[in-house]
Amino acid sequence: MFRYDHRLLPPELWLSIIRWATYPQPRLDVSTFDPFLASFERPNKGDVDALTVKYAVIQVCRLWRDFVLSILYEDVRVRHGAHALAEALGEIYGDGQLGRCVRRLELPYHHTGTATYYSSDLALQILQSCPALETLVRPCMERPPDEVRFEFPIRSHPFPNLKRLEWWHYNHAARSGGINSLTDVLHYSPNLQYLTVGGELWMSSVNSTVRVLELPVLTTLRIQRINFLFVREICRWQLPSLAHVIVEFPLDQNAHEVIWEEFGPRLCTVEFGRHVGFLLSDQITLFLRGCPQVKTFHYFLYFTALPPIFNQPCALQCIYLHSHPCPMLADSEQFPRRHLSFLSQSSFPALRRIILYGDWRNIITESYFKIFVQIMNSRGCLVEHTSENSCTQS
């Protein structure tokens, strides 16, 4: 058998091989809106495996280290070794510093605390070392929030290339301003396309004298657990390009209706997340009434309360259904039948596609499913099953 000496392979081919071996997780595709991806977007074994491969490759030889160092640093989480990280990002790599390779940065709040005036200098140094940053994550605190002190103001930082921001809001952190304030960061992110928000906003954090916030190219708004005041504040923003809204958690005090009233006429897609709270009340009817112009709707079959038959004006053209199971649902066997009955009996004159995600093998063999497909096909609506693996069940 002919054997090819791997040492003769060109560097470009090795880079391609290594890139596939450490293929970035979907969260690095910052401007992409994929059905149901947000509900499965959590650290998993794939992240760990990819990082393990990266560590192994850079230890093979100096040449491979030079090849792969940019891939290793494309996704950075600031942890205990923040000083070492800051030094590494300042090292010369190619035509510039290594920090320019960072595309995604996760920056916990305990690194931006301001117990002293200089406490946050290291975090600002790390941010300044990442001029090409596309995704910034300020996660929910793992430790009690009171353990982190915010006594002094913190500087702002420009994010000209930032396309995606994932933000969990803390009022005591926001009062220090700068990179701890959502409003400040948004003002310095003119090219932001994807925004995730969570947390509770207090009146002390609302500044009505500040100029109206405008995000001209924001297309996707992902709403986690927020309170009614936070919803009202978001509705004050100018979002002319907003097209997709993901609601991961059912909001209190009919806050959904406020969102639909403000943004409904311009939306193209609405998605309900994988949360048992959507089983407690009918959110679909409120959404359909508030957003009659929306073309696409995504929801989890087993996590969404069954609505009554809908016969009001509606422009829906495509519905995505995910079959991820809900372990808390008692009568789960009847849920598919009831939801499909709702879709077949309601009035959706523009509906042309129903796309199924997840495992439908036990459902498609049922007689009621076959009848459902016949009814929808007779109306010019196709029922399809996707083979996409971006929403693998976890």
In whole angstroms, give the CA distance from residue 167 to residue 205. 15
| Calculated CA dihedral for residues 278, 25, 120, 187, nearest 10 degrees | -70
DSSP sequence for 105-132:
EE--GGGS-BSSTTTTHHHHHHHHT-TT
pLDDT of 392 over the 50 cut: no
Closest to 76 measured CA to CA, from 126, 143, 41, 23: 126
Average pLDDT of the chain is 87
Closest to 163 measured CA to CA, from 133, 184, 143: 133
- Mean pLDDT computed over 198-223: 85
- pLDDT of res. 66: 76
- pLDDT of res. 110: 92
Percent of the chain topping pLDDT 90: 60
DSSP sequence for 150-210:
B-S-------TT--EEEEEE-HHHHTT-GGG-HHHHHHT-TT--EEEEEE---GGG--TTS
90 CB burial (10 A radius; 0-12, 13-18, 19+): middle
| Calculated CA dihedral for residues 111, 116, 121, 127, nearest 10 degrees | 40
Residue with the larger pLDDT of the pair 339 and 212: 339
Strands 104-106 and 135-138: parallel
The reply to whether the predicted model has a pTM over 0.85 is yes
Helix H or strand E encompassing 242: none
Per mean pLDDT, which of 42-51, 70-79, 229-238, 247-256 is the most reliable?
A: 229-238
Instruction: Give backbone dihedrals phi and psi of 297, rounded to 5 degrees, phi first.
Output: -135, 130
Strands 96-97 and 92-93: antiparallel
pLDDT band at 389 (very low <50, low <70, confident <90, very high): very low
231: left (phi over 0), alpha (psi -120 to 50) or beta: alpha
Q: Helix crossing, 82-89 with 121-128: angle to 10°?
A: 30
pLDDT band at 44 (very low <50, low <70, confident <90, very high): low
pLDDT band at 38 (very low <50, low <70, confident <90, very high): confident
Residue with the larger pLDDT of the pair 127 and 120: 127
pLDDT of 80 over the 80 cut: yes
